[in-house]
Structure 1
């Protein structure tokens, strides 16, 4: 195994363990009928650590460690980091949204499968069932996760408007204004063209791996 492959293996293995912990704690919280806010607080630290670590995947794509499209990777990572740090961490009211439950379930299941697939792929030991899960469950989990992200952001808008979180109003010494409220609205709107691109890309990959394209190649 080459040094960069060993690095990628360890990175993916750590992410499997991290997201596995998020998944287990989320399922435990659901079994205890915790509120959406309590579910978030139960996994807050792990969510912040392992979702932020995904920023490295943009670097991996840029320098050619992986073949993932840079644009698609950046869009997905940026949207999630925005939800984790600019919404859930900063805007307390967003934590009570049903979107929190949706994104925690969707993200954690998706990432445990995805990182397991990548890690085992590096040692050429991916079982067929894992390949099937990787290219099938996204059909449900991606819309669930994206919807959860949007609902979480929308839930925080009233608080952002009232408390002016991360907002710079005119006039000021910098002669520059920034509306965090407008930024979040734009982020939600970006999902309109962005999500179909990512979703379509995954269906294309599914056809290559599981569909007619794979059968022809065999």
Structure 2
């Protein structure tokens, strides 16, 4: 016989900027609090209203929270959870749905009355968002499938197409290597150069996505990332035929493609809300060996290109000219190499390291020892 899931009593209060939850659980062990911007999942073993048992609950918040700043404190008699609201303001209730769980109570010791702060009337809300699972089940029963937003469908198709593109490149290079052995390395650009140029140009769509509201974040981050690769691909490799047969081209193509065949399926899993532990781990771990290797390969390509540019004076502008300017591409590449090797690599590594800590403890709040 299946055992019913037990939930502890939870007492909540708020200020304009924060939420406070008090979980009525004594001698709690194995506390896990997992956050997303809209939900909290809690589980622990301890002594609650039904004696010594495993207790758990899940809350969908009325508005969004800052998941990365959430903390909890475990004492002998309770667990206190502190959460910061994404947008300051008074919530009319804690949970998204009008009906609150029977185990959720108001913490009157910390509660602010209407005299302390004006709490607004509930704003009009989309019932389909508050009851998302029930609405999806109803759609499946009535029309046989779930209607998805056009933006979501487009992003799924885009990410799948990009995954197929990079997978095709890896398969072609792998098959050629199995057939011809190390001799195939110098023919990498001949085999997959055109395909690589196409998928790299397509990545500029990721610069447009945040501009048109298809994704969050700044368009500058993907712009600089994509442009950095395309600078190496189109200006250093494509424009100099003598670079095509260099082994480093094979290696940099392999590294770039390996990063992307993990990144794009991860995005698809997030869009479909199908979290995969292995895929998430790979997304935020595979960069540890691949990013440094990629930076080294890109640096070698730039270094190997300098003698060719000195010889051909490609991209260099000398006086006199109608613009009355000069530009030394060799000097530019030396400065670019210096920036790539020092601050550039540090910024990329530190950014990914922070994301890894956040995502692999995904939503897991920071614990404060009492």
How many Å apart are 1:139 and its aligned residue?
0.5
Is the counterpart of residue 122 in structure 1 residue 271 in structure 2?
Answer: yes
Task: Check the 8 A contact 2:207/2:219 in 1, yes or no.
Answer: yes
Aligned ranges 1:81-92 → 2 under 5 Å? 81-92=230-241
Is the counterpart of residue 201 in structure 1 residue 348 in structure 2?
Answer: no
Q: 2:41 aligns to what?
A: none
Bigger radius of gyration among the two? 2
Is the counterpart of residue 51 in structure 1 residue 227 in structure 2?
Answer: no
Q: Which runs of 5+ in 1 are unaligned?
A: none
How many Å apart are 1:35 and its aligned residue?
5.1
Q: List 4+ stretches of structure 1 deviating above 4 A.
A: none
Task: Check the 8 A contact 2:166/2:257 in 1, yes or no.
Answer: yes
| Whole-Å separation in 1 of the counterparts to 2:158 and 2:206 | 10
| Whole-Å separation in 2 of the counterparts to 1:127 and 1:140 | 21
| Whole-Å separation in 1 of the counterparts to 2:354 and 2:218 | 13
| Whole-Å separation in 2 of the counterparts to 1:204 and 1:30 | 36
Task: Check the 8 A contact 2:173/2:192 in 1, yes or no.
Answer: yes
Higher relative contact order, structure no. (Cα contacts within 8 Å, ≥ 6 residues apart):
1
How many Å apart are 1:184 and its aligned residue?
2.3
The structure with the greater share of residues assigned to strand is 2
**Alignment TM-score, normalising by the size of structure 1:** 0.90
Q: Tell me the number of residue pairs that the alignment of Structure 1 and Structure 2 aligns.
A: 217
Kindly provide the CA deviation profile for residues 84-131 of structure 1, in whole angstroms up to 9, marking residues without a partner as x.
111110022333444323211111011011011112221112422111
Kindly provide the CA deviation profile for residues 21-58 of structure 1, in whole angstroms up to 9, marking residues without a partner as x.
11112223333223543112211011000011111212
How many Å apart are 1:68 and its aligned residue?
4.1
Deviates more, 1:109-118 or 1:60-69: 60-69
How large is the RMSD of aligned CA atoms in angstroms?
Answer: 2.1
The structure with the greater share of residues assigned to helix is 1
Partner SS, residue 326 of structure 2: coil
Q: 2:300 aligns to what?
A: 151
Task: Check the 8 A contact 2:186/2:247 in 1, yes or no.
Answer: no
**Alignment TM-score, normalising by the size of structure 2:** 0.55
